[in-house]
Amino acid sequence: MSDTLPTPMCPRCGYDLSGLVSTWLESCPMEGLCSECGLEFHCAHVMSPSLIGPRWSYEHSLTRSSRRWWATSWVSLWPWRLCRELWVDHRLRVGRVLRFGLIWALVIHLSAFALTLGSAVMTGSNIPVVYRMGSWQYPDLWNPEFWMQAGRMLAFPYAFDMIIPRGFASSVRPPLGPIFLLIFGPALLMPMWMTLLGSSMQIARVRPVHLLRGLCLSLPSAAAWVILTFAAIVVTEVFTSFPAPGVASVAILAWLPYHLTWWYLFVRVYLRLRHAAAVVILNAVMSVLLIVVSFVLFMLNGIRF
């Protein structure tokens, strides 16, 4: 086993800091400065071979811990705390970041499948049933048509509706596709725009893995907003006469400032880049335009969500 330590690099741009380290003849300073991108960093975070990070961070846990996964998901809902405690200085473990994001992507997909299949079974809409007991529908598990429909829902649940019964022979059907697209679309597109068109990121030589960290950490907040949106639709449709499209519109409009705040804090506080507001607003406008164009193209081609 080699006793040599890994080459010290700038946590933001990846610049080799060996020359800087060679000037430390008597002691290691507490703070360092990257001569390439100008980042001021904590030397302990960069030079230590141990995995230093927040106590709640799933990425920096010595072992894979479900408690850390839930703790990181909770903290990611509060961008002020997230960006105050997780710094660009902290070592970035790409494998852990990807695992965190992929688990959330799987949870989101299975939740969408459960919404579509569960509501269809309860209401008997497009699902073969054996008999009814009160308002409950019991699926015919021996019918191949049931499993074919369930397979289609599992493969792409966003093409189906969530069916909310309002009474006898009456229901409302908020579509999953548009709501998921309007909430998850900007969250997924923001790091893409920053990678392709982010001149500030290029000047500071921000490594794309930091935007990957931001993307994966933003998934829990987007998922929470989807849950709040559908919960509000269910409550208003069951207990009031307020229309579901109105509730969904209000929820989407409320999501936008939260989304902008989340990414502003990530760019300004976490990445420590100037002009964060201009970067985030410009990229958000482009995301909205792309989503609107996508909806128009879907409608022109007769595609229904």
- Cα distances (angstroms) measured from residue 144 to each of 127, 131, 135, 151: 11, 17, 24, 11
pLDDT at site 3: 44
pLDDT at site 91: 82
pTM: 0.83
pLDDT at site 143: 83
The one-letter code for the residue type at 28 is: C
Cα(278)–Cα(264) distance, integer angstroms:
9
DSSP-based three-state secondary structure for 282: helix
Contact in structure between 120 and 152 (CB atoms under 8 Å): no
Q: Nearest to residue 234, comparing CAs of 295, 152, 179?
A: 179
pLDDT at site 72: 95
pLDDT at site 26: 62
pLDDT at site 82: 95
Cα(265)–Cα(97) distance, integer angstroms:
19
Q: DSSP per residue over 32-79, as a string?
A: EE-TTT--EEEHHHHH-SS----TT-STT-SS--HHHHHHHHHHTT-H
pLDDT at site 105: 95
pLDDT at site 70: 94
**For the chain, how long is the longest CA-to-CA vector?**
82
Burial 275-296 (b: 16+ CB within 10 A, else e): ebeebbeebbebbeeebeeebe
Q: Which H or E element spans position 18?
A: helix 18-22
Q: What is the pLDDT along the chain (305 residues), one digit of tens a residue?
A: 344 456 677 778 877 777 666 666 566 666 778 877 787 877 766 666 555 788 899 988 877 678 999 999 999 999 999 999 998 888 888 999 999 999 999 999 999 999 888 888 877 777 777 666 665 667 778 888 888 988 999 999 988 888 777 665 567 777 888 889 889 999 999 999 988 877 777 777 888 889 999 999 999 999 999 988 888 887 777 666 666 667 777 878 889 999 999 999 999 999 888 888 988 999 999 998 998 888 887 777 665 55
Map out the domains of the chain as residue ranges. Answer: 1-49, 104-172, 174-300
**What tokens appear for 39 in the block?**
């980042």
Which residues are CB-contacts of 159 (< 8 A; sequence separation ≥ 6)?
Answer: 152, 176, 177, 305
